[in-house]
Amino acid sequence: MPPLPPAAELLATAARPFEDARAMPPSVYTSADFLQRELDTIFAREWMCVGRASALAEPGDYLTYELAGQPVMVLRDREGGVRAFSNVCLHRMSTLLEGRGNRRSIVCPYHAWTYGLDGRLRGAPFMAETTGFCKEDYALPAIRCEEWLGWIYITLNDDAPAVAETLAPLTPMIADYGMENYVECFRETHVWDTNWKVLAENFMESYHLPVCHAATVGGHSKLEEMECPPGLAAFNYHWITKEASLPIGNAHPTNTRLEGRWRKTTALLALYPSHLITLTPGYFWYLSLHPQGPDKVGLLFGGGLSPEFMADPRAPDYIATLKGLLDEVNEEDRGCTEKVFRGMKAGRARGGHLSYLERPIYDFMHYIAERTAGFDRSFALAAE
């Protein structure tokens, strides 16, 4: 496969040492061909987060997701397991379920072929005379689906290592937060007019907080409080340790898991390609991104409280305050990331140097360059 011009430009930028690092070239964000390469080499191959397992609490609860062009349904089956299937009918290939909800069985909206929660075809009206047809031959293709610390991930890649294996280095780093027990209180989907990587990168650096978020959390953000270590193969991260602006940002008095500075440390986790988690001692929120074109990104946005704050009588107030603040902060991020994408389309747009506070973006660039253009990350990491 000859390198596309954007991939060649990306390789040249990724080869720069961190001390002289620059942002990715604009073509990597604006090119439809490069997006297709990302869909083929990243989104069709990696684990994608579709939310919290608690969102599928009851048998028959389902959600739908379009993964690299493949409609997927994820559901809680009768035995209590979470399973994913192709969301395409086995008759004349209509899509089956939409959005989220609960079903005892899955009935195709076209001719009512009906599937059980195990994916098997249970009924097909007026097919008795088709003697070559045997409903036992039909079952929706399963899609790989795994849980990790309360999250559900799906992948189209039968050879991908398990999520827990991929993220094994991260698990002990955040174990004391007990993220698996955090309770999701809201979950929404949105579409923004920007490239998915612009929004991912926006999450990966807190350099923009004092400026982009001047009207909300910016005043509480001191860049000196941020620690941005080099990332690892499957994720990057940075830490912010400070007195939180919200009471729920620090550990609840009944939280005995977190000690010392960890009681006021926020972890900002970017799990490749696009699961972005802000994990604080008292609450969490997340985005899971999927491109809908070079210029549009679909966001799954959710969040909630640690179990200690959920048990607090003031939990409803905490949830309302958190949601109100995050909505304002997201609106600010939307403004900044949509402006960046508008700028990137300009003929004279060029990426400039990165600050040391943008270390995770440098690591993300290497990840993208490895997946899409064969960049050798092991060499780059060995050179640290």
Of the candidate spans 186-194, 222-230, 291-299, 329-337, the one that interacts with Fe ion by CB under 5 A turns out to be: 329-337
Q: Which does 38 bind (CB under 5 to 8 A by kind): ligand FES, Fe ion, none?
A: none
Q: Which residue is nearest to Fe ion (CB)?
A: 333
Residue 226: HSE in the Cβ half-sphere, 13 Å Cα cutoff: 21
Residue 358 near Fe ion by CB under 5 A: no
Query: Nearer to Fe ion by C-beta: 184 or 333?
Result: 333
**What's the min distance (Å) between Cβ of 62 and ligand FES?**
17
The yes or no reply on residue 333 touching Fe ion (CB under 5 A) is: yes
> Under rule CB under 5 A, how many of the chain's residues touch Fe ion?
1
Query: Across-strand partners of 146?
Result: 153
SS3 310: helix
Q: What residue spans of the chain are helical by DSSP H?
A: 5-14, 27-30, 32-38, 163-166, 170-173, 196-204, 209-212, 307-311, 315-344, 359-373, 377-382
Helix-, strand-, coil-residue percentages of the chain, each rounded to 5: 35, 25, 40
Residue 284's closest CA among 146, 100, 149, 153? 149
Residue 352 CB, shortest distance to Fe ion, in Å, is: 19
**Between 87 and 221, CB nearer to ligand FES:** 87
Alpha carbons 228 and 146: distance in angstroms, whole number? 29
In which region does residue 160 sit, left (phi positive, over 0), alpha (psi from -120 to 50) or beta (all else)? Answer: beta
- Considering only the stretches 70-78, 182-190, 282-290, 330-338, report the one whose residues sit in contact with Fe ion under the rule CB under 5 A: 330-338
Rule CB under 6 A: which residues touch ligand FES? 89, 91-92, 94, 108, 110-113
Give which of Fe ion, ligand FES, none residue 356 binds (C-beta under 5 to 8 Å, depending on kind): none
Amino acid occupying residue 194: T
348 contacts which partner out of Fe ion, ligand FES, none, CB within 5 to 8 A by kind? none
Closer Cβ to ligand FES, 110 or 379, answer by number: 110
Question: Which positions lie near Fe ion, rule CB under 5 A?
Answer: 333
